[in-house]
Structure 1
Amino acid sequence: MSLAIENNEVDIVIAVLHPNINSFLEEWWPFLAPFHLIIVQDPALKEELQIPLGFDLQVYSKSDMERVASGSSINFSGYSCRYFGYLMSRKKYIISIDDNCHPARNNYGVLVDAVDQHITNLQTPSTPFFFNTLYDPFREGADFVRGYPFSLRQGVQCVISSGLWLNLADYDAPTQIVKPHERNARYVDAVLTVPLGAMTTLSGINVGFNRDVIGPAFVPGLQLVGEGKRRWETLEDIWSGFCAKAICDHLGFGVKTGLPYVHRDDAEVGNAMERLKKECEGVKLMESIVPFFQSLRLPTTAVTADDCVLEIAGMVREKLGMLSPIYLQAANAMESWIKLWKAVGANTV
């Protein structure tokens, strides 16, 4: 089941909120140079990007978003601009890294090639139907544990590789406020498959996925609050991750998490209180969002990721719409996303 992934099958999507993309690209040069890059600029970023020579890349800005997504209900502001890169890619695989991330070092002080690890995760099977306590049995030096059914050892296709990060821990705003000085310094050399039915959060900060198979499931749905259209920051990715995991479970694909790590800047720590203001209403809604996705059952007629997104949108409208208008907006955004995905796929824009 293992697939060979060629460099020309991979797009690296980089969401850019800071003008110093030059230093970012120079730092990542050894790992990104062999690939095509899609650089997506936050519509609010006014400075002209200074990009070093030697990269094969395409840069997208606010004017491109307005040209391609005019009339869409999708908001590509902030780090949600990465979704525009997913939309515009024409490659089979996408690896997404944000501009506030640096190459991490492992326990021996060696720089980690995050791109290579994502590719490794995506070209080896996942084991969602039976948990292997030695983590990923397809890694060199590992295998299946005693009692693991031989009928399941072939695994299934892995379509999502969810990486982690060092330094700035993956905390929400309330936890960051309580633990402002806490950092993640533990590099755990492990990859595991997220079990069938288990919910997990995914983040475009450091993720790889098979765009052909699961791309439409990375849907920026839960985005807006009231008429002010205030962004919900990381909750956009959480909603997208829940959708993607539920669809993988339904279609019989696998999700791996763990390696690779990136090293993330401290910049967001000082803004934890501002983030809390933006996220507080969304944090409350998680108490209804999680049970919804835990109980979600998609029909057998949904056989592709875009089918599944539309089915979930209808269920969101029916089962959650009466709780808050934000769910109706999410359903509309999901349907708008699929229309946009199909329209862009049918036309070279």
Structure 2
Amino acid sequence: MRTKPPPSLLSLTIDSAVLNLSDISDLSSIPDHILLDLFLRILRAGKLTEKVLRLFIATGKDEVISLVEALNIRHVLTPVLPTIQGVLKNSEMSQAVINDNEVDIVIGALHADLTTFMNEWKPIFSRFHLIIVKDPDLKEELQIPEGFRADVYSKADIERVVGSSSSIRFSGYSCRYFGFLISRKKYVVCIDDDCVPAKDNAGYLVDAVAQHVSNLQTPATPFFFNTLYDPFRKGADFVRGYPFSLREGVNCAVSCGLWLNMADLDAPTQALKPRQKNVRYVDAVLTVPARALLPMSGINVAFNREAIGPAIGPALRLTGEGKLRWETVEDIWCGMCVKVICDHLGLGVKTGLPYVWRTERGDAVQSLKKEWEGVKLMEDVVPFFQSLKLPQSATTAEVCMVEIAKAVKEQLGKAHPVFSQAAETMVEWVKLWKTVASG
């Protein structure tokens, strides 16, 4: 009587993978022939779900995609309605959903006296942990009032973590990136020290942190534009003709807030229109459509650190980068990197609420000389990001950043040396992020 040969180690491993699918998040490193065998065994076991199918499609392997097409396997469309049921009102969300221990507020201190700034924000900030990063070039001691749970980081702390030989510079507005680096919270909210809380149209103080977290906790809808803005806000919903298969939305990774008073104009526009102010409080939030770029600003922004953290970092700096808003392009470049990565990973970016009230320091005319270099660079930067395609194998923000850096060096590096430096900084930032995260 012939006995059945014992199963091989490979066969046992594949069987174990079939039984433990819920613990697997990435299949891209598995050889093609093993991947196909695993896929067929999952089919035979009746364990092919939407989640598992997406896992295999994400590998980008032609053999897998061809097999899916040959077997005519299709995604199941599950209509979701109505949207508002089960979603908290904005006022309820700020009270019921926000976990204080999940939020870090990062403040880049470019000015020594933070007394007025902190006291203005006390009703909102006092419940959360604050990370205050002092501009390494600031010589005076920081003045911070009592009543806050704050950790303050100076030049010595930055050098202790990053090292003095690093090419990454955390001076000026870039000091906020050090706060992003050392945070351990799920949500990071960043507000500049020249901003105070705004008031809505009814005269009530705007809780910027609550609104940011609300934006991040409710789905984004980047793949089909909803003409009633964010369908998950109170009083809104999906409009007629919106595909039911897209109504679940995707996770929102970035919330870009706005501000009243000083508009976010470039130096040429501000110099020509010195009296132009933003006085309209528009009570709306919308998802930025997929494949549409935006110049993200670090003035009033929040993001899901777990989902997109390493994609938000320093990179492109002008030759004569200064200390004023008009003299920096770093956060603009960062926003384009983040948006391309969010589109690739299937994440959303929202803009609109919350507002802050912003004052501006400096002279736009004097800053024009420094910013003009950045204005010219944007003519090369925007077409580059519009045509950029990331490989299917890039499934994390870290890998996406490295891939973008490669493309920057190859396609833009010859046009201007600042791009080659930006590519090197991006790679170094990812390495630094991993190092800090590991210990």
Q: TM-score range by the shorter chain?
A: over 0.9
Tell me if the contact between 2:103 and 2:188 (Cα under 8 Å) persists in the aligned partners. yes
> What is the identity, as a one-letter code, of the residue corresponding to 2:419?
Y
In 2, the alpha carbon distance for the partners of 1:229 and 1:244 equals 22
Q: Does 1:33 align with 2:126?
A: yes
> What is the identity, as a one-letter code, of the residue corresponding to 2:265?
Y
Tell me if the contact between 1:19 and 1:45 (Cα under 8 Å) persists in the aligned partners. yes
In 1, the alpha carbon distance for the partners of 2:290 and 2:247 equals 15
Q: Give the counterpart of 1:275 among 351, 358, 367.
A: 367
Q: Give the counterpart of 1:294 among 371, 382, 386.
A: 386
In 2, the alpha carbon distance for the partners of 1:323 and 1:129 equals 33
1:216-264 deviations in Å (ceiling 9; x for gaps): 1112110142xx6767843000000000000000000000000000000
| Higher RCO (CA < 8 A, seq sep 6+) | 1
> What is the identity, as a one-letter code, of the residue corresponding to 1:330?
A
Q: Give the counterpart of 1:62 among 117, 137, 155.
A: 155
1:274-331 deviations in Å (ceiling 9; x for gaps): 3212211111010000000000100011100010000000000000011011110000
In 2, the alpha carbon distance for the partners of 1:49 and 1:313 equals 36
1:21-66 deviations in Å (ceiling 9; x for gaps): 1211111001001100000111121111121222111001111112
Partner of 2:48: none
Q: Does 1:243 align with 2:340?
A: no
In 1, the alpha carbon distance for the partners of 2:366 and 2:104 equals 33
> What is the identity, as a one-letter code, of the residue corresponding to 2:357?
H
TM-score by length of 1: 0.95
5+ residue gaps, structure 1: none
Please provide the CA RMSD for this pair.
1.5
Residues 199-208 or 229-238, more deviating: 229-238
For 1:219, what is the secondary structure of its paired residue? coil
In 2, the alpha carbon distance for the partners of 1:190 and 1:229 equals 34
Tell me if the contact between 2:318 and 2:374 (Cα under 8 Å) persists in the aligned partners. no
Partner of 1:90: 184
In 1, the alpha carbon distance for the partners of 2:356 and 2:321 equals 31
Partner of 1:13: 106
In 2, the alpha carbon distance for the partners of 1:234 and 1:145 equals 39
Q: Give the counterpart of 1:203 among 297, 304, 317.
A: 297
In 2, the alpha carbon distance for the partners of 1:224 and 1:266 equals 20
For 1:163, what is the secondary structure of its paired residue? strand
For 1:95, what is the secondary structure of its paired residue? strand
In 2, the alpha carbon distance for the partners of 1:184 and 1:214 equals 30
5+ residue gaps, structure 2: 1-85, 88-92
In 1, the alpha carbon distance for the partners of 2:348 and 2:134 equals 31
Larger radius of gyration, structure 1 or 2? Answer: 2
> What is the identity, as a one-letter code, of the residue corresponding to 1:138?
F
Tell me if the contact between 2:322 and 2:328 (Cα under 8 Å) persists in the aligned partners. no
Tell me if the contact between 1:219 and 1:243 (Cα under 8 Å) persists in the aligned partners. no
Q: Does 1:343 align with 2:431?
A: no
In 2, the alpha carbon distance for the partners of 1:224 and 1:256 equals 27
Tell me if the contact between 1:75 and 1:223 (Cα under 8 Å) persists in the aligned partners. no
In 1, the alpha carbon distance for the partners of 2:219 and 2:409 equals 35
Partner of 1:313: 405
Question: Identity over the aligned pairs, expressed in percent?
Answer: 64
What is the number of equivalent residue pairs in this alignment? 343
